[in-house]
Amino acid sequence: MLTVSGCASDQPGTGPAPQLGSDSSRAPALTGALTVFAAASLTESFSDLRATLKASAPGLALTYSFGASGPLVSQVIQGAPADVIATADEVTMKRLTDASLVEAPVIFARNQLEILVAPGNPRGVKALADLARSDLKVVLADDTVPAGRYAAEALAAAGTTVSPVSREVDVKSAAAKVILGEADATIVYVTDVTAAGSRGEGIAIPPAFNVVAEYPLAIVKEAPNRAAAAALVESLVEGAGQDALRRRGFLPPPR
């Protein structure tokens, strides 16, 4: 039984309208307390999902912990009580699979990079190569953060060397520096540019240099609430969760 939910997206660039499964058949499992650890770039879409679930899954007490993927993984390794964990790249998730702490991860979303600058682009940034300009203050996420690694890949593909004034500890901090006006430009996810709204402007990165970030999602083996965890994973892969992700600019997972 497939029904298209009321908020199905017809946004350009997302391909044919997704056939979304009816979450009401899974709602019975979405109850109880559920703790989700998620990479910082998932903040807005996951928060949207929580708002949606308040109506369709009233028995669910959903708690989020957003942060850089690395520390979240470290916390799970140290025994933090997460049911589900979503990271921004497979390198970070691999630490959990190597330690046999999670079920097999599934890619549930993809993202791409974009340059973020101040509204109106006062410094005239047009391409990745401009980030090497000495008159620009550029911040990047640190290499130990997925967004930082992706940005380094994109810059390497473009043959540009950038000397950032700071290496931020997560992608949201990098975006914040530009939004606050302290830095002139940064490389963040497309979804972060969308989230900045009128406080920032995005400069596209051509596909030849751009990187496709794949986000893995996994159920923690010792999850206190495995039934709800499985239900949430399904929702995120092809349910209301996936819908929330698309609305915020994420790309669908590979089929």
Partner 1 sequence: MSPETVRTRTRPEAAISDRPPAVAIAAAVVGGLFFALPLAGLVWRAPWSSVAAELASQPARDALRLSMVTSLAATAVALVLGVPLAWVQARVAYPGKRVVRALTTLPMVLPPVVGGVALLLALGRRGIVGSQLDRIGVNLPFTTAGAILAQTFVAMPFLVLTLEAAFRSADHRLEEAARTLGATRLCVFRRVTLPLVAPSLLAGTVLCWARALGEFGATITFAGNLEGRTQTLPLFVYVKLEGSNPESAIVLSLVLLAVSLAVLISLRDRWLTVR
Least distance to partner 1, CB of residue 170, Å: 8
Q: Which residues bind partner 1 (CB under 8 A)?
A: 68-71, 74, 91, 95, 137, 139, 142, 144-145, 164-169, 173, 177, 180-182
Q: Which two tokens stand for residue 221?
A: 């083996």
For residues 190 and 114, is the Cβ–Cβ distance under 8 A?
A: yes
Q: What's the rounded Cα separation, in Å, for the pair 70 and 120?
A: 34
Q: Nearer Cβ to partner 1, position 42 or 231?
A: 42
Least distance to partner 1, CB of residue 74, Å: 5
Q: Would you call 82 helix, strand, or coil by DSSP?
A: coil
Least distance to partner 1, CB of residue 149, Å: 11
Q: Nearer Cβ to partner 1, position 71 or 224?
A: 71
**DSSP track, the chain:** -B---TT----TTS-SPP-PBPGGGTGGGS-EEEEEEEEGGGHHHHHHHHHHHHHH-TTEEEEEEEE-HHHHHHHHHTT---SEEE-SSHHHHHHHHHTT-BPPPEEEEEEEEEEEE-TT-TT---SGGGGG-TTS-EEEE-TTSHHHHHHHHHHHHHT-----SEEESSHHHHHHHHHTTS-SEEEEEHHHHHHHGGG-EEEE--TTT--EEEEEEEEBTT-TTHHHHHHHHHHHHHSHHHHHHHHTTPBPPP-
Least distance to partner 1, CB of residue 105, Å: 17
Q: Nearer Cβ to partner 1, position 76 or 240?
A: 76
Least distance to partner 1, CB of residue 127, Å: 23
Q: Nearer Cβ to partner 1, position 26 or 149?
A: 149
Least distance to partner 1, CB of residue 165, Å: 4
Least distance to partner 1, CB of residue 221, Å: 20
Q: Nearer Cβ to partner 1, position 185 or 230?
A: 185
Q: Nearer Cβ to partner 1, position 63 or 74?
A: 74
Q: Nearer Cβ to partner 1, position 142 or 243?
A: 142
Which residue is listed with tokens 């079920």? Answer: 103
